[in-house]
A and B are shown apart, each in its own frame.
Chain A
Amino acid sequence: MNSIHEERKDLLKTLFEQRPDASLPSGLRKRILKEIERYETIRQRRRQIFEITVVVSASLLLIVMAGFVLYKLDVKLFSRELWKENAIYLQIGIIALLLMIGDQFITSKLSRHHK
């Protein structure tokens, strides 16, 4: 049996050598690349949705936690003193939010430009 595996110069080998190759159909290459492009677009979109979901969930969690703390400490949310004392935090929050929106905007613009 070993001779079969070591020595390929036999009738079948000769016939397989003469057998015409199945070449890749012309349209198939294009279809494959199109399919890959479609897959990549879906993957990117999924990743974006995942990132946004994480950010939104984290923000909501923080808001809920803040609400809970304020409720527990019995802090009046609409009192003037509270807003005056914590104005700096509000400003930081607004700046962070604006930066995040800006980042999202620039990223989507750049990826569209790249394509």
Chain B
Amino acid sequence: MTQDEKTYHYIERILQNHDIQCFTYIVDQYGTQLYSLITSIVHNREDAEELTQDVFVKIYEKLGSFRKESNFSTWAYRIAYNTAISHTRKKTHEYLSIDEGLWETISEEELSQSLETQNRCEEQLELLDKALTSLSENERGIIHLFYKEEKSVEEIARITDTSVSNIKVKLFRSRKKLLLQMKQLEKQNQI
């Protein structure tokens, strides 16, 4: 039995018997992934925990409307993404500005190469963590889905309810923004 088949089997049991024990399988199977996505969007542990709880209640509540034709994980990710994004909309954030001149003149390859050669892995990870805060919640979510969860552009488009071309543009911009921010932070550290 594949993971999807197992999930569908448990969903049917939940819908027929309201068997809460079957829901533990879904929490165990998707809990970490959804929590990880929410954490990357809201950037706050307490909020992420609360939102993950809300997301699972929503999933349980909406199980009846889930159609087998669509992938369960995409459906669950979509609920998690929307919940996290609407939570962040309530809060106002300030994002770090990026030098417009640098944006136009430096290519991604140049940025990657200079960052790769000049820093150790731990330093790069630290720079990445800091640079991620410069992205909007939406961009962080897309970057997380693409790089961490290794979702395809089409899947991300389904999760975020946007077009594939829009996701491609957003990915390109977020990626460049991230690398530029890392470069700027690196310069600041050197000074």
Chain A residues within 8 Å of B, Cβ to Cβ: 1-2, 4-5, 8, 10-13, 15-16, 18-19, 21-25, 28-29, 31-33, 35-37, 39-40, 44
Q: Which of B23-31, B65-73, B96-104 contacts A (4 or more CB under 8 A)?
A: B23-31
Given the known interface contacts A15-B125, A19-B128, A25-B49, the answer about A40 and B147 at a Cβ–Cβ threshold of 8 Å is: no
User: For the complex, what is the distance from the CA of A12 to the CA of B140, rounded to whole Å?
Assistant: 13
Contact B56 A35 (CB under 8 A): yes
Q: Does B150 contact A (CB under 8 A)?
A: yes
Closest to B156 in A: A5
Interface members, chain B 102-141 (any A CB < 8 Å): 108, 112, 115-116, 121, 124-125, 128-129
User: For the complex, what is the distance from the CA of A31 to the CA of B48, rounded to whole Å?
Assistant: 13
24 contacts between A and B (CB under 8 A): A4-B171, A4-B172, A5-B168, A5-B171, A8-B147, A11-B116, A11-B179, A12-B128, A12-B147, A12-B178, A12-B179, A23-B35, A24-B52, A28-B31, A29-B31, A31-B53, A32-B52, A32-B53, A33-B24, A33-B27, A36-B57, A39-B61, A40-B60, A44-B18
**A33 cross-chain contacts in B, Cβ below 8 A:** 20, 23-24, 27
Closest to A13 in B: B147
User: For the complex, what is the distance from the CA of A22 to the CA of B80, rounded to whole Å?
Assistant: 15
Q: Does B148 contact A (CB under 8 A)?
A: yes
Contact B18 A35 (CB under 8 A): no
Given the known interface contacts A4-B171, A5-B168, A11-B115, the answer about A21 and B32 at a Cβ–Cβ threshold of 8 Å is: yes
**A16 cross-chain contacts in B, Cβ below 8 A:** 128, 147-148
Contact B20 A36 (CB under 8 A): yes
Contact pattern, B 36-51, Cβ under 8 Å of A = 1, otherwise 0? 1001100000001100
**A29 cross-chain contacts in B, Cβ below 8 A:** 24, 27-28, 31
- What 4 pairs between A and B have smallest CB-CB spacing? A16-B147, A11-B112, A22-B36, A24-B31
**Beyond A2-B168, A23-B35, A37-B20, 12 extra complex contacts between A and B, CB < 8 Å:** A4-B171, A11-B179, A12-B143, A12-B175, A15-B124, A15-B128, A28-B53, A32-B52, A33-B27, A35-B57, A39-B57, A40-B18
Chain B residues within 8 Å of A, Cβ to Cβ: 18, 20, 23-24, 27-28, 31-32, 35-36, 39-40, 48-49, 52-53, 56-57, 60-61, 108, 112, 115-116, 121, 124-125, 128-129, 143, 146-148, 150, 153, 168-169, 171-172, 175, 178-179
